[in-house]
Structure 1
Amino acid sequence: MVDETLFDYLHMSIVEHYNNENESDVETASAYLSQIGYRVGYSLSERLSKDNARYRDELDTVKYLCKELWICLFKRQVDNLRTNHQGVYVIHDGRFRLLQQTLTTMNKPIDSNNRLHTLYIAYSNGLLRGILTNMGYPCRVTAEIVDFGVRFQIEVNPVVGQK
């Protein structure tokens, strides 16, 4: 419980810092937060998956992310995982923890056009990208805010020389 509170506070502080430092440029602040998330996700993936063998394919890896790692990171499973079986995955979390904290602290409705909400999601995009890249699947992650949750779209890039 204490570690969750510390993580939430650290996350809010980092977002607030980059929001204040780059008040005129949301793209720069998002890029910084995404890069921080990438480094954390890459390292965290090494630590959490060192006891597990590599998964057979990218679908198994994304399922592992949704079932095991998502619980570790966000204290709940995803609500929905969809794929087109061509390297595109859509993860929907209807009560995304890192965005829900803004509801209580800002007293504002969740809105995809809100600058601060965009920054909260940027860190998570980088986190997911770092995890999957370390597991052998470099990808591009985008997110959109829907209702009270977030929909992440992951596009896995085929690695040259990999079947």
Structure 2
Amino acid sequence: MAAPPLNDSSVDADSRLVNISCFDLLLIELVPLAERMARAYEASLDRPTPSSTSSTATKRTSKGPPATGPNNAISTSTTAKTTTTTTTTTTTTTPSSISAPSITVTGANTTAASSQPSHTALLAADGLPTTTIFADSVYIRLERLGFRVGEGLSERISRDRPRFNPAGINGGNVGNVNDHHLDVIKFVCKDIWGVVWRKQVDNLKTNHRGVFVLTDNKFRPLTRMSMANHAEALQRARPHLFFPCGIIRGVLSSLGIKATVQAETIDLPSAIFQITTVLPQVKP
């Protein structure tokens, strides 16, 4: 019996259903993938690299004792220098001589303290300590990937909407610049948030001086995250905010706005994003 024909819309690469499913899968697997890649990168730094100088010195010293003569004295001196250099290189590349990275431990009622990895150190999702190299690698990968996704989303979505409020020429009219930034931030809160997380931002605040605070009371990546330890839950939720920060910064960058984006979560599943835009300088 022949199999029923597949629906063309289910296998079409341009199908909206396929695109949404792929994007949802990306959002789900993005943080675990970045953490695995960060662990692999961290492990590669601890592997000793084979030294060509060491093999050369071994060949030179394994030929037996040097014979007497004026030329052989130079050969002996060269071998001694080579052996000394090899010993120094081996000492600096031995894994045991590399100091262990420090871990920042923050308790619920204590201040941050720096200590070596122990049973009190914060653990990542894989159960290993969260070192500085690991945390920085995860942040850079997720934030840069989000930046590129934000640029693409902005180019695709903004073409079908009315033009934004124009900014002042050379930043001469600061009022127009603030209105332009506010119009772009509203575009992020409504259009971009609706496409990526299928809802709008719950609250938007600004001081009209380039600082905007976006509050999402039920941020979708954090809605199914729950743990017995509240502090540990907040720690595990942090990597899931790096990619959204990159998306926001990418959207603003594609529309000509330089900004820094910071995110935090105080009570799951809420998330707060603070955007600080850089106002253009007035040219004389």
- TM-score over 0.5 for the alignment? yes
Corresponding residue for 2:277?
156
Q: C-alpha distance in 2, partners of 1:28/1:51? A: 36
- Name the one with the larger strand percent: 1
Q: Which residue of 2 aligns with 1:126?
A: 246
The answer to whether the 8 A contact 2:212-2:276 is kept is yes
> SS state of the match for residue 143, structure 1?
strand
TM-score normalised according to structure 1 size: 0.85
The count of corresponding residues between Structure 1 and Structure 2 is 156
Shift of 1:81: 0.3
Partner of residue 100, structure 1 = 223
- CA distance in structure 1 between the partners assigned to 2:23 and 2:221 by the alignment: 10
| Cα contact 1:138–1:159 (8 A) shared by 2 | no
Q: Report whether the alignment pairs 1:20 with 2:36.
A: yes
- C-alpha deviation, 1:124, in angstroms: 0.6
Aligned-pair CA distance for 1:3: 4.8
Give the alignment partner of residue 136 of structure 1, picking from 256, 273, 280: 256
**Alignment pair present for 1:47 and 2:168:** no
Q: Distance in 1 between matches of 2:24 and 2:32?
A: 12
What letter matches 2:24 in structure 1? D
What is the root-mean-square deviation in Å for CA atoms of aligned residues? 2.1
Q: State the distance in 1 between where 2:275 and 2:156 align.
A: 22
Matching residue within 21, 24, 28 for 1:8: 24
1 CA distance for matches of 2:183 and 2:152? 20
Letter paired with 1:74: W
1:30 matched to 2:129: no
Is contact 2:234–2:265 with CA below 8 Å preserved after alignment? yes
Work out whether residues 8 and 98 of structure 1, in 8 Å CA contact, stay in contact via their aligned partners in 2.
no
Match of 1:113 in 2: 235
Query: Which of structures 1 and 2 has the bigger CA Rg?
Result: 2
Q: Which amino acid aligns with 1:135?
A: L
Taking only the aligned residue pairs, the percentage that are identical comes to 32
Code of the aligned partner of 1:125: C
Q: What is the TM-score normalised by the length of structure 2?
A: 0.51
Number of the residue aligned with 1:70: 193
